[in-house]
Structure 1
Amino acid sequence: MNNLKIIGLACLILFLFNCSQDEIFVEEQSAQTTETIVEYAKRDGLKPIGSGVMMQAFYWDVPAGGTWWNTVNSKVADWSNAGIDAIWLPPASKAQNGPFSMGYDPFDYFDFGEYNQMGSVETRFGSRTELTKLIDAAHQNGLSVIADIVINHNSGGASEANPYAGGNTWTDFNPMSGNFYRSANDFHANNIHSNDSGAFGGYPDLCHNQTYVQDWLWNNSNSVAKYYRDVIGFDGWRFDYVKGFEPWVVKAWKDEAGGFAVGEYWDSNVSTLDWWTSTAEASAFDFACYYKMKDAFMGNNLTVLNDNMLWKQNATRAMTFVANHDTDEIINNKILAYAYILTHEGYPTIFYKDYEEWLNKERLNNLIWIHNNLAGGTTNILHADTDEYIARRNGYNNAGLVVYINNSDLWQERWIETNWSNTIIKDYTGHSAWEPTTQYGKWVKIQAPPKSYSVWSVK
């Protein structure tokens, strides 16, 4: 009899556990309807990519001399503590300009600073050993590492007779790594077609319809994608100049190699960005948001923040940014633009120079904390005029927030409707000392300092 009781009790516990697990699964599914879907890194111990903020860990013309990997290595622990979940590195393999190249003229995809070619052993950023030490350090601190992938064009090939061009072209690639030899057949024009979506800068334009190219870039067990992932240790991909090839290329790469993927589709048209992300099944940098912020903060007209952006169309695929290595046009009141992307939907990126040199790091760290702890759920714009912008995040697994951006020269105050009734709230930026109590109808008066912002939530 006692044994039967024990068995029955065990069955009951198992049943309740399974029901509990089912409830958790349902809750997690419902979260995906109101919150950005994060992609979990493959390696154990890493923060989910998309749960925090990405750091662009370089800028154009970082110091040459092979020191950059060590510089970034010295910062990953602090970035992780601040709430960064991933770092984006520049193209890491050997390029035509050797020790002076920023990597966007790729020559040997398998030389990370170990072969004496193109004028140096190391890349501009350092040696292969220094790169893998950096990636190991990032992983130890819970950070994923995103590789900048340049597969539209190549540079540094020798001249060869090209039957498709009626003369010689610079398409003879013989890398010292011994991997991915290329010839005229692998570029446009060739025996398949004369071109794809777009060439870049006069460089030889890779043909992704060639099976040989597909095999070396992503299909083979020793392909570029799998070598970056399995040998060097990268966790995801930032695809350069994706206008130059069809979106199926990114999808095929990701289907084969996995990992987080974001494309640089430089276009402010929201429908175009949404089409590309859906077809490529990858994220895209929200250039629509970037240009609206430029109009808002450089043009001093915050009403344009009412306009459509990728994060409003599909937040799960939107990478928001204020500046990067190619664009730095939002100069006036740049911190207001960061207050915008770090309180709104999408996956925000911080530019190295802004964080480490140009802006107030304490204020950025505060906004990163706010993003990671308060900025959940859907968004409602509560007010927008030339000088003022107020939006509410409705919360998911957190209280949500109200952000008040003030681009005027004076303190401003407004009554707004919150999600909180009879609740004390405070400004988590510390810019306002007010701690008002919301009314029974959830209304409350908040304020924001001149040329600044405040972010309100439950005390």
Structure 2
Amino acid sequence: MFPFLSCFSGSRRRERKCLLEKEENAKYLDRYPSWDGPENSLILQAFEWHMPSDKRHWNRLKRVLSEWQAIGVDHIWIPPGCKGMDPNGNGYDVYDLFDLGEFEQKGSVSTKWGNRIELEEMIRQAKSLGVNVIWDAVLNHKAGADYPEEFPAVAVDPRERTKEISKPFEIQGWTGFDFSNRRDQYSCMKYHWQHFSGVDWDQKREKNAIYKIAGPNKNWAPDVSNENGNYDFLMFADLDHSNPEVRNDLLHWGSWIAESLSLSGMRLDAAKHISTRFQKAFVEHVRDQVNPKFFVIGEYWTGNLYDIHEYLEKLDYQALAYDVPLLRKFSSISHSAKSDLRGIFEGTLVQSRPDHAVTFVANHDTQPGQMLETPVACSFKLLAYSLILLRKGGNPCVFFGDLYGIRANVEEPMKPACDGKLPILMQARKNYAYGEQENYFDQPNCIGFVRHGNAKHAGLVCLISNGDPNNKRMFIGRQHAGTQWKDILGYHRTSVVIDKRGYGNFPVNATCVGVWVDSAAVGKDGLPGTLDLNIYGY
């Protein structure tokens, strides 16, 4: 496990402990090279599940990019912009990977998000601001076939997919894809039943089940999650990544879209359902053909840390993964009165592989009503975001629905999270969260840490309570003696003065966070204004 830094105030014993832990960290990172990314990089997931189906989202993003860049966002994760079977769908029901809102297919030219011209204009605007774009790639399945085909299949037990519960028989599945209105532009590949592993609908009998396609060299991919025996099949028509034609078409698509849109990276949707050998080949291909620094985030959704490590190993650590164990910790602790905060990072990816962990508090799959709903109590979100945005380690991702609220197409609208202070935390990461980190994880319900800053950044103090009001004496450094530190979140009006030994006594309110910065640095950098919450356009 990656050693968890826990240096407390004291004299030589504290310094010796820090030194030993740094040596252990160095040994670890020698064994597992760190991910090459910019310091304090910040991802914003630039959508939520219930965004309006107004085909104006690319224009919406273009309008707010400068605001996001100003508060520290340098990567935006955008939704699947390929044509789905439903023109109002979010794109995870992917029909044609090569149609980015350019062809009249499935009843529309545009996708739910807009057309290709608007997409390209938005990305050009992002690039001009130094904001990179992460594409959400749906490579597990296809949906909305143009016609059904007959082929042999066997029904399998949905709870144990390796168990066949029928003999081979002829079914009729929706597996014929012609993309006729695209007229072979960008790719001449047509998809038929041979290109898939399984389907979930037999049109002949009008019956829903999981059918594994039968025939020579037909089976579930062996290098996927072993949930349900084998978790290759997820939904719709499941692509067979061992088929050479499928493999070549998807590799071609990867380099085509990365180059056409000047993408910096991709999120691989449903990664635990896709052959890891194929995923590794996909990353290597795009890096070789387009961009050697192209990066990938695998959506390998599991709370089992061992399984996430195994996934990353199979990809030779050429990808990042979501820290689902940490999210589940946030959710559990947030709903338990005064849970012990000291072990909040134990058993998480950010503790064991910080450079390969994408840390988050919510996303489109975990928001209310979704299949992977993992609720973090509203009162705890400020605490959770402080822990992922202001500490060393991890690649934090902020959720659109937390930044702006969720107001469209829901029965119970949600206000912006963190009492509206999430933009301040984001800009605090950009301006102050640098340098060595000293942890004060010494009380069950009140923890804190100091970022000591560097030559360009002043550093900060963060104090977190999930219980009663509290305070903590924390070491800032003798060079700061006499300076006044301000709570930039605005919960305390009185400054903390650093004493001659370099210590300050910092307070925090009940179930709250205090983020303290040298007043001189705040005067120099300023604080963000409020975001335009009218991003929805109504």
TM-score, L = length of structure 2: 0.71
Paired AA for residue 56 in structure 1:
Q
1:208 and 2:241 are equivalent in the alignment: yes
Once the two structures are superposed, what CA deviation does each residue of 1:197-238 show, in whole Å capped at 9, x if it has no partner? Answer: 3244442111212222221111xxxx1111211113322101
Q: Return the structure number with greater helix share.
A: 1
Asked if 1:250 corresponds to 2:287, the answer is no
Q: Give the match for residue 309 of structure 1.
A: 348
In structure 1, distance between residues paired with 2:395 and 2:330: 16
Contact 2:326 2:345 in 1 (8 A): no
Would you say 1:336 and 2:383 are equivalent positions? yes
Matched, 1:182 2:191: yes
> CA contact under 8 A between 1:306 and 1:384: conserved in structure 2?
no
1:450 to 502, 510, 527: 510
Question: 2:234 touches 2:273 (CA, 8 Å); kept in 1?
Answer: no
Cα deviation code 1:383-404 (max 9, x no counterpart): 2545322234465665544321
> How many Å separate the matches in 2 of 1:401 and 1:154?
48
Equivalent pairs counted in the alignment come to: 413
Name the CA distance, whole Å, in 1 between partners of 2:478 and 2:151: 70
What pairs with 1:258-337 in structure 2 (closer than 5 Å)?
Answer: 258=287, 259-280=294-315, 281-300=318-337, 301-303=339-341, 304-328=343-367, 329-333=375-379, 334-337=381-384
Greater mean deviation of Cα atoms: 349-358 or 369-378: 369-378
Contact 1:153 1:203 (8 Å CA) reproduced: yes
CA contact (8 A) 2:54 2:113 kept: yes
Q: Shift in Å at residue 270 of structure 1?
A: 2.1
Structure 2 equivalent of residue 437 of structure 1: 498
Q: Confirm or deny: 8 A CA contact 1:53 1:83 kept in the other structure.
A: yes
1:372 maps onto 2:430 in alignment:
yes
- C-alpha spacing 1:128/1:306, structure 2 compared with 1 (3 Å): closer
Q: 1:425 to 1:211 in 2, by over 3 A?
A: farther
When residues 416 and 308 of structure 1 are mapped into structure 2, their CA distance, relative to the original with a 3 A threshold, is farther
Q: Is the 8 A contact 1:250 1:282 kept in 2?
A: no
2:266 aligned counterpart, secondary structure:
strand
Residues 89-168 of structure 1 aligned to structure 2 (within 5 Å): 89-97=78-86, 99-157=87-145, 158-163=147-152, 166-167=169-170, 168=172
User: Hey, what's the Cα distance between the residues in 2 that align with 1:191 and 1:39?
Assistant: 43
Structure 2 distance, partners of 1:379, 1:266, is: 30
Cα RMSD of the aligned pairs, angstroms, is 2.7
Paired letter, 1:373: N
- The code of the aligned residue for 1:79 comes to W
What secondary structure does 2:144 align onto? coil
- Note closer, same or farther for the CA distance 1:422–1:63 as it changes in structure 2 (3 Å cut): closer
Gaps of 5+ in 1: 1-29, 41-47
Cα distance change on mapping 1:414 and 1:186 into 2, 3 Å:
same
Identity percentage of aligned residues? 26
**Whole-Å separation in 1 of the counterparts to 2:50 and 2:92:** 12
With over 3 angstroms needed to count, the CA separation of the structure-2 counterparts of 1:361 and 1:315, relative to structure 1, is same
Q: Could you list the per-position Cα deviations for residues 383-442 of structure 1 after superposition, in whole angstroms to 9, with x for gaps in the alignment?
A: 25453222344656655443211223x4311223456566336245243333221553x5
TM-score (norm 1): 0.82
Decide which of 391, 399, 412 is 1:351's aligned counterpart.
399
Q: Is the 8 A contact 2:71 2:430 kept in 1?
A: no
SS at match of 1:250: helix
Q: Distance in 2 between matches of 1:51 and 1:249?
A: 31
Find the residue that maps to 1:182 and give its secondary structure. Answer: coil
| SS of equivalent residue, structure 2 residue 396 | strand
The aligned amino acid for 1:80 is Q
Q: Structure 1 residue 292: deviation in Å?
A: 0.8
How far is the alpha carbon of 1:149 from its aligned partner? 0.5
- 1:22 alignment counterpart: none
Given that 1:274 and 1:313 are in contact with CA atoms closer than 8 Å, whether structure 2 keeps it comes out as: no
Deviation of residue 109 (structure 1)?
0.4
Report the secondary structure of 1:292's partner residue. Answer: helix
Quote the Cα distance in structure 2 between the aligned partners of 1:217 and 1:295: 39
Q: Secondary structure of 1:353's match?
A: helix
Query: Against the structure 1 CA distance between its residues 138 and 105, is the aligned structure 2 distance closer, same or farther, given a 3 Å change threshold?
Result: same
- Partner-residue secondary structure (3-state), 1:160: strand
Shift of 1:443: 4.3
Q: Secondary structure at the match of 2:239?
A: coil
Q: Write the letter of the residue equivalent to 1:452.
A: C
CA separation of 1:211 and 1:142: change in aligned 2, threshold 3 A: same
Could you report, residue by residue, the CA deviation over 1:290-336 in whole angstroms, capped at 9, with x for unpaired residues?
11111222223142415221111111111111111011311322222
Q: Secondary structure at the match of 1:205?
A: strand
Change in CA separation of 1:81 and 1:37 when aligned onto 2, cut-off 3 Å: farther
User: For 1:305, what is the secondary structure of its paired residue?
Assistant: coil
Query: Which residue of the partner structure matches residue 177 of structure 2?
Result: 173
Contact 2:378 2:417 in 1 (8 A): no
8 Å contact 2:469–2:508 — kept in the other structure?
A: yes
- Within the alignment, does 1:240 sit opposite 2:273 as a pair? no
Task: Indicate the SS of the match to 2:119.
Answer: helix
- Distance in 1 between the 2:361 and 2:386 partners? 10
Q: Distance in 1 between matches of 2:386 and 2:366?
A: 18
Higher mean displacement: 184-193 or 377-386? 377-386
Question: 1:414 aligned to 467, 472, 481, which one?
Answer: 472
Deviation at 1:263, TM superposition (A): 1.1
Task: Say which SS state the counterpart of residue 321 (structure 1) adopts.
Answer: coil
Q: 1 CA distance for matches of 2:128 and 2:271? A: 31
Q: Which residue of 2 aligns with 1:226?
A: 255
1:35-114 maps to which residues of 2 (within 5 A)?
Answer: 39=36, 48=38, 51-97=40-86, 99-114=87-102
Distance 1:267 1:315 in 2: 17
Structure 1 residues 353 and 95 mapped into 2: Cα distance closer, same or farther (>3 Å)? same
> Which residue of structure 2 aligns with residue 195 of structure 1?
220
Could you tell me how far 1:194 is from its partner in structure 2?
0.9
Amino acid at match of 1:436: V
